Amino acid sequence: MVDNNELNWFPGHMAKSLKKIKEVTRFIDFWFEIVDARAPVSTQAAGVYSVFKNKPCILVLNRYDLANKSETDRWANYFSEKYMYVLKVNSKKNINLDFLNSINLGNKKKFRAMVAGVPNVGKSSFINSICHLKKLKVENRAGVTRDLSWISFKNLEICDTPGILPTKLHFPSSKYISYLGLIKSEILDLEDLSLNLMSDLYKIKRNEAVEKLSDFARANGLVSKGGTLDLERASNLFIKKFRMGNLGRISLEVLD
């Protein structure tokens, strides 16, 4: 539900998955925390932190291809003190596992790792890309992976997990998670979301955003037979363009 800038989407499968993740953590050597490079703080998997206790963590700044380059470099530098390793990746392309050689993981011959993060952030894509296969189901909507599943590749056994959100998302994380499509779209008012997104991206007031959305509808031929502008379709298209990077490489969260 959307309420005073707070979002609440914690369906039963998330609670169940969190329990299962907790049961498996003692078997793993380290975990990958996947965040969206465009809002790396708001997309941290706050809800799952505690279950990993003190397990070493590699932070994955995913969708680097959609985020501002220099802002992401600054974030990587910022996080490098807090994490065992920080990766900037585009999980739609294959990723070389050589980075593991530069991390001190002890003398084990095989490692077990787990991937965790909020829904739709690219967890399954990341595993597919480091294992150079397309085994795990990937789709552009929140809630695709519903259970834990293990994949073996070289000296790594890696576990994919369903996306988990905190039980309550507060502002501004709720806003960024919505902009990025990391929550079930059915609970969002997309017209309102597109106007807020326009206000934020172009630093304009709400009434100016309403004008801009109308201009956008006109420019994209989104006019109904009677001649009225189809603002619903315009909102959907604007949000889609932003999420796919068609408006450029944009970071929502930047370091001061």
Residue ranges that bind ligand GTP, judged by CB under 6 A: 62-63, 65-66, 89-92, 119-125, 138-140, 142-145, 162-163
Question: Which one, 125 or 173, has the nearer CB to ligand GTP?
Answer: 125
Please, which residue, 120 or 173, has the CB nearer to ligand GTP?
120
Task: Select 130 or 209, whichever has its Cβ closest to ligand GTP.
Answer: 130
91, 124, 128, 173: residue in contact with Mg ion (rule CB under 5 A): 124
Min dist. Cβ of residue 34 to ligand GTP (A): 7
Q: Which residues in the 145-164 window bind Mg ion by CB under 5 A?
A: 145
Over the chain, what HEC string results?
CEECCEECCCCHHHHHHHHHHHHHHHHCCEEEEEEECCCCCCCCCHHHHHHHCCCCEEEEEECHHHCCHHHHHHHHHHHCCCCCEEEECCCCCCCCHHHHHHCCCCCCCCEEEEEEECCCCCHHHHHHHHCCCCCCCCCCCCCCCCCCEEEEECCEEEEECCCCCCCCECCCHHHHHHHCCCCCHHHCCHHHHHHHHHHHHHCCCHHHHHHHHHHHHHHCCCECCCCCECHHHHHHHHHHHHHHCCCCCCCCCCCC
Q: Is 128 in the site for Mg ion (CB under 5 A)?
A: no
Q: Name the minimum Å distance from CB 137 to ligand GTP.
A: 7
User: Could you tell which of Mg ion, ligand GTP, none binds residue 125, using a CB distance below 5 to 8 A set by kind?
Assistant: ligand GTP
- The contact set with Mg ion (CB under 5 A) reads 123-124, 144-145
